[in-house]
Structure 1
Amino acid sequence: MASKLLRRFRDSTLRRQRGPGPPEEPPEIAELEDDTEGLSVRLSGTLSLSEDSLGSEESDGTESRCIEDLNSSSLLTKQLREMWASTREHNLPIRLTFEVTEANVVKDVHAKYVMYTIYLLHSGQFDPSPAFISCRYSDLERLRKILRSRYPDEMSSVSFPHKRLHKNFTAQTIAKRSRAFEQFLGYVSSVPTLRQSPEFLCFFYLRDMQKAQHLTCTGLYQLALPLWMNCWRLQEKLCPVGPSTHRLLVLAGLVICHQEMDSLADAQAFSERAVLLFRDSQEQNVPFFISFLHAHIQLSWRVGVDKRNSEAALLRLQEAGHVTQNAPSLKETLIRETNQETT
């Protein structure tokens, strides 16, 4: 497509130099619109296909031709840069976007499948902390079926790529599916009822959160910390503001891991986030609040930060009749929640 645009530009330039001539015929609609080969590669420029994805089934090489055309057209590159520079001068609306950045063919004893890496980031501004998930076609299809069964009206017109019997591992199929997944998730996140549904939220962070819980409870803090951090970034982008149980568990995991790894300033910062969540909410999980207050007071004292507000909040809870002495620690609370999920 890029090479066609470049040739048209050169032809029009030569005609202007030669003088007036017969008017140029408008391009055919099909030539501009029916160009879906390698669509994800050209649109985002970041989709990475593993070499295995081209090994088992033959590809027609469309994606590579698209990349070559795009690289060979310096004019088109310059135009894209100018367009991006002009958009930076305007205030763009901030919204959540999904981008498939990697697709790897995985072979195990039982099956062969494609694992997609999908990044969640805010458009309209620089996003310093994008979050990501890794999932299969079957995972996304399962999410679609659950949402359709529980929210039929909202999901009535949502499209989804069909299963195929052949050519599931070609670069062409993977690129088209990647684009379809981006559109599917983008639509679901744009509908408040779907975006705030437990099924949609848990799809993104629940699996990693459960892994991080078990790793933390067994003392594997270095392995658990990256999972907790990604869960926190996912929740920051997806979840409504408030001290939900899942959000508090993620904050507890972050405080525990940072504290055990002697990153006391980070542990104190996340404990303060939890305390502020409780203060800004009308509904309070008092036992959890007490555990976070104790952790915040201790960590603030160790890093030299003012802790008087938390001490005053703990005293108010005690005067209200709550037991604040010998309260469970954050790790004990995390272990209790983990045991409840496995029983």
Structure 2
Amino acid sequence: MQWTWRHRIHFGQCQYVSSGCGNNEGPEIVTEALENLALDDEPDTRLGQGTLSFDEAPGVHSHTGAHIRSWANVPRGNTGQGLATPADLTNSEIMTKPVVKFEVVSARTVNQNNEKKHVAYTVMVRKDGIQPDPNPAVIERRYSDFLELYESLRREFPSLMTRVTFPKKVLLGNFTPSVISERTAGFEALLQHVITEEKLRESSCLASFLHGREQCEARQWMEAQRYDQAVPLLENSFRLLNKVHTDRHPAVMLTLCRLVACCSADPMTTSAERFADLALRRYEAVSDADLLQFYVPLLQLCVRLWWSLGRDKRPLEARLEDLKRRGIKVDGCPTLLDALMAMDKT
């Protein structure tokens, strides 16, 4: 594997980056540095303004939420000066379809009392077009998570997985930089293959891998009425799913509804209006019956939110009246939050 400064992988306080291209000097220099680097149990994984923090008290704060927050201010590449303006772009560049990319951007060893020592990999998910994605999503997974995804896909879709290789288990040396680098390349190749095949992309095992853990934890925080802890998990899941699927995909819309409900229930969150506006626009073209059950509660939530913000709520009220005239139940409906939590319990 050749090395450049485009793909960052962090080991301890040193930063090394790998990619599929580079000059002739890169591999030797970086490989030697990696082999001479001793990994601590808790290496420093700082990048720019972001710091991964996993030392908050259990049950008080979300470790996963802290991880996601820590990457919120990390520079995402050149998104300002030096980029082409619309007038500078050719027609072919404008029509270029954004590409979803999975990139392992950090690795850390975990050696906690209640877990077997392992390496945790942070995967950044971007959808780059003409310009870099300004809002990537991040998830943290271990080798066993990637292995479960690979084996599940091979069982369910053997013909689509014949050309995919997966890093083998090793008895010794799981924590060496060379093994971590090899696994990183294999994980990225697996995810890039999966995302290009529609059946694999829509599979339940990929959904579980990408957001099952975060969605489960978010629902637990919702039940505990700790909406401040649920919001970052749901926003990250929404951004991730929105890159992988279409705008009105059921998983995307359901996560967006959860996000709107939690933002509205958390007095410290200022994003409720922004996500509520987005949900209303997307619902205009939704026909999925399972999703439509949340449309009236969403409208009613937005009526209250618009009133509290001093916005004109009459168009929303008119929409509710129109639904009522068409025989759709409007009065006595549960709140959006209650409707979502009731669905989660079934």
State the TM-score, normalized to the length of structure 1. 0.73
Contact conserved, 1:217 with 1:334, CA < 8 A, in 2? no
Q: For residues 148 and 256 of structure 2, what CA distance do their matches in structure 1 show?
A: 29
> Does residue 1:145 correspond to 2:151, yes or no?
yes
Which shows bigger deviation, 181-190 or 330-339? 330-339
SS in 2 for 1:103: strand
Deviations 1:140-198 (A, max 9, x none): 11001111111111111111111111211101110111112111111111122212223
Contact conserved, 1:188 with 1:195, CA < 8 A, in 2? yes
Q: For residues 265 and 172 of structure 1, what CA distance do their matches in structure 2 show?
A: 44
Q: Could you tell me how far 1:67 is from its partner in structure 2?
A: 11
**2:198 corresponds to:** 192
Amino acid at match of 1:105: T
Contact conserved, 1:201 with 1:239, CA < 8 A, in 2? no
Identity %: 28
Write out aligned runs for 1:10-49 (5 A). 36=1, 39=2, 42=4, 44-49=6-11
SS in 2 for 1:46: strand
Q: Could you tell me how far 1:336 is from its partner in structure 2?
A: 1.0
Which shows bigger deviation, 280-289 or 182-191? 280-289
Write out aligned runs for 1:167-186 (5 A). 167-186=173-192
Amino acid at match of 1:97: K
SS in 2 for 1:168: coil
CA shift in 2, pair 1:293/1:264, >3 Å: farther
Q: For residues 247 and 94 of structure 1, what CA distance do their matches in structure 2 show?
A: 18
Where does structure 1 lack aligned partners over 5 or more consecutive residues? 1-35, 52-59, 69-84
**1:229 corresponds to:** 235
State the TM-score, normalized to the length of structure 2. 0.72
Query: If you compute each CA radius of gyration, which structure gives the higher value, 1 or 2?
Result: 1
Where does structure 2 lack aligned partners over 5 or more consecutive residues? 14-27, 37-81
CA shift in 2, pair 1:45/1:276, >3 Å: closer
- Give the counterpart of 1:63 among 31, 40, 48: 31
Contact conserved, 2:227 with 2:266, CA < 8 A, in 1? yes
Q: For residues 282 and 337 of structure 1, what CA distance do their matches in structure 2 show?
A: 18
Q: Could you tell me how far 1:304 is from its partner in structure 2?
A: 2.5
Q: Could you tell me how far 1:257 is from its partner in structure 2?
A: 2.9
> Does residue 1:266 correspond to 2:234, yes or no?
no
**2:122 corresponds to:** 117
Q: Could you tell me how far 1:281 is from its partner in structure 2?
A: 2.1
SS in 1 for 2:214: helix
Q: For residues 150 and 181 of structure 2, what CA distance do their matches in structure 1 show?
A: 20
> Does residue 1:276 correspond to 2:238, yes or no?
no
> Comparing both structures, which one devotes a greater share of its residues to helix?
1
Give the length in aligned residue pairs: 278
Amino acid at match of 1:241: D
